[in-house]
Amino acid sequence: MILAITLSKLLIGVAIAAAVLTAGVGVLKSQKNWLMTYLQNFCGALFIFSGWVKAVDPLGTAYKMEQYFGEFTSTFEGTWMSFIAPIFPWLSNYATGFSVFMIVFEIVLGIMLILGIRSKLTSWLFLGLVAFFTFLTGFTYLTGYVPADVNFFSFGSWGPYVETNMKVTDCGCFGDFLKLKPKVSFFKDVFLMFPALYFVFKHKDMHQLLNAKVRTGILGLSALGLLVYCLSNFVWDLPGKDFRPFKKGVDVAGTLKAEKEAAGNVQVTSYILTNKASGKVTELPYADFMKKYKDYPKEDWEYEQVKSKPTIEATKISDFVLEDVDGNEMTEAVLSDPKYSFMIVSHKLKYKEAYDKIMVNDTTFVSETITNEDTTYVVQKVASVSQREAKETRYVWDVDFQKDYQEKINPLAEAAEKDGFNVYAIVGGAGPATIDEFRHATQTAFPFYMADDILLKTIVRSNPGVVMLKNGVIIDKWHINKLPAYAEMKSLMK
């Protein structure tokens, strides 16, 4: 089972694979250094595997990069290095390209290690990539010591390690296949620094398989094939493997209920108390704290609750909350629909804002007191009317995105609604006014709901994407560029 995979099990599997490869290499040719050969195969196999589980879903890595860029922006803002901060929002615009490059590079580097291609270059590239990963995971892990209202570079204000202080909660090293806490991921990368340095100093002992032309050919074909494979998993279709919680067949309604019940049954087991003046940390069991809490006034002590772990670990399904444009929650209505329904998911409405110059009237009023017999009242009269120039916001919708709704989504909605099925769109990062403008621009008749954009990115890796549901269970989902005819969709209904 994928969910049962842990880092230790994964490393054992990679270690066994490396041992088999090493034995195979030993059969093909004599070795200068068996330890070097084993480490080449171990690190190469690890990089190929970690790259592959990200290659099946390059957008997942891109979204993780956006998280890192956002964290770096807030970290550098307000410091003497604030001039660096604007770089990261700019880099975020190219997160998808960086994602594909890093994934292909990681797998290619693994192949270079196993084949022994250009040992000196490979050694330095491996060291550079491991150092880069160590920096990312180390930074993320250390943010656990930084309170919410403290900047990372204010080292004197760091406090005890609190996991919830971290904005990026997992490194994304193995995509959605295996979630690692930043602390675990950081120590994994520190461990990899040892073979990385060993490669640099002893690169002449590296084994080489096949001849130079064959090695170069394998490397070139691998890079090209990997590039096409990555693109196929988000440009033309959905990921070939779905490691996310919203995969086909998942009972979203049942899982959401179970996760909420598990979270509600969590209990406070103890309190960690930190003295604001001395920094002294004391942990008291819950029962003892309730007896002695008066000895730890809040003006002198900071409180942190330690809670029991839920019986079911929360997934992104716990964040499944939908609202209509009037703020009414629609989660239950959507997940309890006994009929087949179609959920059109757009984590972002694609548009640019343009501004038109318009003339508006500025009216000046004066107040006048009028007395009529025993009654006195105040009336306002127009004193003057003048015109001034103002800007009016206009939405310029992405042409291809608009066509997807007009030429693909709308016909699907019409056919489904004709058969009595519900169709609705869920969008992220847009308010009621923007949604209303988009509905008019695309002439969509079905309702639009709002949700968190990260949630929608998790549900389907397509913008827009289509999800078929029944009783809160995901029947199937499609990329907009692989949207089948309605008749084919209907054939799934049993």
For the chain, the first-to-last Cα distance in angstroms comes to 28
* Pairing assessment for the beta strands 340-346 and 422-427 based on DSSP bridges: parallel
Residue 409 CA neighbour count, 13 Å, CB half: 30
d(C-alpha 62, C-alpha 98), whole Å: 7
E-state strands within 373-421 = 375-397
Which amino acid belongs to residue 31? Q
Weakly modelled stretches of the chain, pLDDT under 50: 1-3
Q: Are 11 and 179 in contact (CB under 8 A)?
A: no
Query: Which residue do the tokens 């916001």 mark?
Result: 393
d(C-alpha 5, C-alpha 437), whole Å: 46
- Tokens linked to 232: 């196929």
pLDDT of residue 1: 35
Q: Are 354 and 394 in contact (CB under 8 A)?
A: yes
SS3 230: helix
pLDDT of residue 120: 95
Q: Can you give the pTM of this predicted structure?
A: 0.83
164-195: per-residue pLDDT in tens?
788 787 878 888 888 888 888 999 999 999 99
152-165: per-residue pLDDT in tens?
888 888 887 877 78
pLDDT of residue 2: 38
Q: Which residues pair with 363 in a beta bridge?
A: 385
pLDDT of residue 115: 94
